[in-house]
Amino acid sequence: LGPDRNGIVPGPEPETDWKAHPPRELWRTPVGTGWSGFAVSAGRAVTHEQAGDEERLVCRDAATGAIQWTHAEPGHYATTIAGEGPRATPTIAGGRVYALGSLGTLVCVDLATGGLAWHRSLRDEVGAGVPSWGFSGSPLVAGGRVIVSAGGSEGRSVVAFDAMTGALSWASGDEGNSYGSPLATVLDGVPQVVVFGGRSVAAHDATSGKLLWKQAWGVGQPLVAMPLVAGPDRLVVSAGYGVGAEMFVVRRAAGDTWTVRSEWVSKRMKAKFSNPVRLGGMVVGLDDGILAAIDLADGHALWKEGRYGHGQSLLCGGVLLVMAESGELVALRPDGTGPHELARTRVFSGKTWNPVALAGDRLYLRNDTEAACLRIDRHPGR
């Protein structure tokens, strides 16, 4: 997701001449099944894995891959189509790790030791049912609270817990959950948390949980890709399954009321479960598995080229790193004329749906059987 949950990692661009300066593998290790990515902080890389009938939070030494600690909770989600194991990538904040299991167990553990600070069951505490493809959104830590899309009943579809104690801070919303992660942002000058429901995109006040605005969208389809802030009062949302993309203009009106107006609709960006990114005046992302770009101003198609499947991507400067579903890592420099692939290398041989993490000059990658850390040169000033 990147530090701001917009698919962008700040800092120098990565090297793209992989013939002269190829990515160098630092370590590789087997992992349990699951579609979680790595969260990296303070020399530790944390991910969520399946281990028998337990969902196991695993902390590895970021430099060597050696396991530092594990924390396990009972749980086993599996389907033929979606595979098995945890889906959500952990969140690291304030020296703690917050992780949501596929069956709705939310835990907080110490980053240094793995010691349990608290845990909560979304099913028991807010009446949340397990979504068809399991709980998948990474917890959001904002304002001393841990905010998750829970899908609970009777005004408890979005919930916040005290980050230190795990006590329930607030609950709000009246829809089932979807599969995206909550986003802390500012629209029309007002801080808010944007989150998908089962039939809409909505925003809540992070402190009180008060519903600020809600817009019906993507009704009946899984909503996974992160909403993309495209201006001071503009938000782009996208989904697969034939839905496409839409830009909304979100503005505060008189008093506590808000207006949400559709600026454009496009069928040329159908982000299934990878996150599109904003690059200049474009939105670039995987349109049902093919890399594409649409114009931010009106949503018209600029180009569509290159099959990477349902992989994941990160933007660093002008370089887009795509971890293809096939297990290949690809570097591109997209612009208004095309994707411009520069280099590629194979990392895994199996299906790869997991998000990518870039920390300094190290790229942390995994699929549902193994993980690898690659060192990739980055260029100051570029």
Percent of the residues in the chain that have a pLDDT greater than 90, as a whole number: 84
Q: What is the pLDDT of residues 43-58, one digit of tens each?
A: 999 999 999 999 999 9
pTM of structure? 0.96
44-51, strands of its sheet edge to edge:
39-41, 44-51, 54-61, 67-74
CB atoms under 10 Å from CB of 176, counted, come to 17
Question: Which has the minimum average pLDDT: 115-119, 190-194, 252-256, 299-303?
Answer: 252-256
Over residues 74-97, the pLDDT tens digits come to 999 998 888 999 999 999 999 999
What is the structure's pLDDT at 381? 56
- Is the confidence at residue 311, as pLDDT, over 90? yes
Summarize pLDDT for 16-43 with one digit per residue, the tens.
999 999 999 999 999 999 999 999 999 9
Count of positions (residues) in the chain:
382
Return left, alpha or beta for 39; rule: phi > 0 is left, psi -120 to 50 is alpha, else beta: beta
- Mean predicted lDDT score pLDDT of the chain: 95
Instruction: Give me the percent of the chain exceeding a pLDDT of 70.
Output: 99
Domains of the chain as residue ranges with CATH: 8-32+302-352+354-382 (no CATH), 35-179 (2.40.128.630)
